[in-house]
């Protein structure tokens, strides 16, 4: 049973959004539509099987090699690239994400606020912001935490033994309901405990989620109550791992060697395809476009709608000046998948590169109607307006970028600059003034938390 809390669901959502804006501004969040799409899809499959999900969940990738994931108010869950790379199967990754979902649905963080009744919500936001930043980006985060506050802030995000036991139980149930291997939960957590038992500095996940032997034993016993399941290997999981390694983890000297070796030693069809994909990304980064294109063309022959391959096909086309080729293929696919973020954002980028700014703006506006807080979309929109000389609209779009990073003062400054380009349009002047007022109200709400 989920305990009642002093904080309402609406306030929890508001605090979660404030914290998310802080993280966008300071943490190494990856604005990569493919990785975003994969993590959100995996998370949605798990949330669909969770009880007490009071709001839409948002899953986002953090560019950090640590094995970690963390949850905070309002259904926000950050997943480190290190966790994605080091999990041996999609079920192992899902076991950690399910555990974090359980912390949210059981309102463990909300309960911690209830226990700190002397602290105002704004104080809690400030304290949590520092510790969340430390989890996402240790170097920047530790600078945000004074020595005197560190222990208290850490205590706010550390879960009690009863919290962890409850999250284990609920997480394993979510995992099993969603069709993943429930035994992956005990195996992955057990692996972590064994690997880091005698290490002076364990991974970040174990700092906030201690794994004593008794807890691992309890998990193994609980998993025994579920029938053994064997889930087929996931191509998407292996492709996202290859993408992270090629784009965010390995340096330029390692990439080609790593994926050529991996391809040579591949044993399954999925290992072959994911190694080929990783090699194509490495070749693209090395500007070896002909070889990269040959690999991607072959992969697309076998799987013409695979978004990972389509994305790399687009990048190769744009790098070699074949913009129309990319636009044609993306436009065709969008007819059957009109709201797909990978296709929509790739097409917008291709249109900008092809100097078709008005079409790019149209696609981005359509996408933002459904995804109003998507940072990369506003960044592309700012670029499209800027390249086409639409100064008023460019400053308006840039204001939204600042607002998504909680930089409301700079956002208002951009809107004031946009106002100077309205000429004689009364409607535009009213629209900008209204948006300025909304920005100021958002800042006031933050200060009144």
406: left (phi over 0), alpha (psi -120 to 50) or beta: left
d(CA 154, CA 209): 12
**Residue of 12, 32, 92, 168 with catalytic role:** 168
Residues 6+ apart with CB under 8 A from 78: 23, 27, 29, 59, 60, 61, 62, 69, 70, 71, 132, 135, 136
d(CA 349, CA 22): 27
Is residue 291 a known part of a binding site? Answer: no
Secondary structure of residue 306 in the 3-state scheme: coil
d(CA 255, CA 381): 32
Angle between helices 269-285 and 252-264 in degrees, nearest 10: 160
Does the annotation count 10 as an active-site position? no
d(CA 39, CA 34): 9
Task: Retrieve residue 80's tokens.
Answer: 């480190």
Residues in the chain: 449
**Residue of 12, 36, 92, 100 with catalytic role:** 100
Task: Retrieve residue 182's tokens.
Answer: 């429930």
Does the annotation count 181 as an active-site position? no
If one counts every other C-beta atom within 10 angstroms of the C-beta of residue 222, the result is 17
Q: Is the distance from CB of 62 to CB of 27 less than 8 angstroms?
A: yes
- Helices then strands, each counted (H, E), the chain: 24, 3
Instruction: Give the N- to C-terminal CA distance of the chain in Å, as an integer.
Output: 28
Is residue 387 a known part of a binding site? Answer: no
Is residue 80 a known part of a binding site? Answer: no
Q: Whose structure tokens read 């980064």?
A: 285
Secondary structure of residue 62 in the 3-state scheme: strand
Q: Radius of gyration over alpha carbons of the chain, in Å? A: 23
Q: What is the largest CA-CA distance in the chain?
A: 72
Known binding residues: 99, 103, 164
Which residues belong to the active site? 100, 168
Known binding residues for Zn(2+): 99, 103, 164
């Amino acid at each position: 049973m989920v305990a009642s809390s002093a904080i309402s669901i609406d306030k929890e959502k508001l605090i979660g959004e404030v914290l998310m804006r802080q993280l966008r501004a300071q943490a190494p969040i990856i604005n990569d539509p493919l990785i975003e799409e994969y993590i959100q899809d995996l998370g949605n499959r798990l949330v669909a099987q969770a009880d007490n999900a009071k709001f839409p969940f948002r899953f986002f990738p953090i560019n950090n090699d640590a094995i970690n994931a963390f949850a905070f108010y309002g259904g926000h869950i950050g997943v480190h690239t290190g966790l994605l790379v080091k999990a041996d199967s999609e079920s192992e990754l899902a076991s950690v994400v399910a555990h974090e979902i359980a912390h949210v649905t059981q309102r463990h963080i909300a309960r911690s606020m209830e226990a700190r009744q002397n602290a105002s919500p704004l104080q809690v936001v400030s304290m949590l912001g520092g510790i969340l930043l430390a989890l996402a980006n240790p170097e920047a985060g530790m600078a945000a935490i004074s020595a005197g506050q560190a222990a208290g802030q850490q205590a706010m995000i550390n879960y009690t033994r009863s919290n962890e036991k409850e999250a284990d139980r609920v997480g394993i149930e979510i995992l099993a309901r969603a069709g993943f291997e429930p035994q992956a939960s005990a195996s992955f957590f057990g692996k972590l405990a064994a690997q880091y038992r005698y290490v002076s500095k364990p991974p970040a996940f174990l700092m906030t989620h201690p794994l004593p032997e008794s807890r691992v034993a309890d998990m193994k016993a609980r998993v025994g109550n579920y029938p053994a399941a064997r889930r087929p290997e996931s191509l998407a999981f292996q492709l996202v791992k290859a993408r992270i390694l090629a784009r965010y983890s390995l340096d330029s000297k390692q990439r080609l060697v790593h994926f050529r070796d991996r391809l040579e030693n591949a044993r399954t069809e999925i290992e072959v395809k994911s190694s080929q994909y990783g090699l194509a990304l490495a070749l693209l980064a090395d500007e070896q476009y002909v070889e990269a294109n040959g690999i991607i063309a072959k992969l697309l022959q076998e799987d013409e709608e695979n978004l990972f391959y389509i994305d790399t096909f687009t990048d190769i086309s744009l790098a070699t000046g074949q913009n129309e080729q990319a636009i044609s293929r993306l436009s065709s696919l969008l007819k059957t998948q009109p709201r797909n973020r990978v296709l929509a954002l790739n097409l917008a980028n291709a249109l900008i590169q092809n100097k078709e700014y008005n079409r790019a703006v149209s696609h981005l506006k359509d996408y933002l109607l459904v995804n109003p807080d998507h940072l990369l979309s506003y960044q592309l929109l700012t670029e499209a307006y800027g390249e086409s000389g639409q100064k008023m609209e460019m400053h308006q779009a840039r204001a939204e970028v600042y607002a998504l990073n909680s930089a409301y003062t700079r956002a208002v400054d951009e809107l004031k600059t946009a106002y100077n380009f309205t000429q004689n349009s009364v409607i535009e002047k009213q629209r900008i003034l209204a948006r300025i007022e909304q920005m100021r109200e958002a800042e006031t709400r933050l200060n009144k938390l």
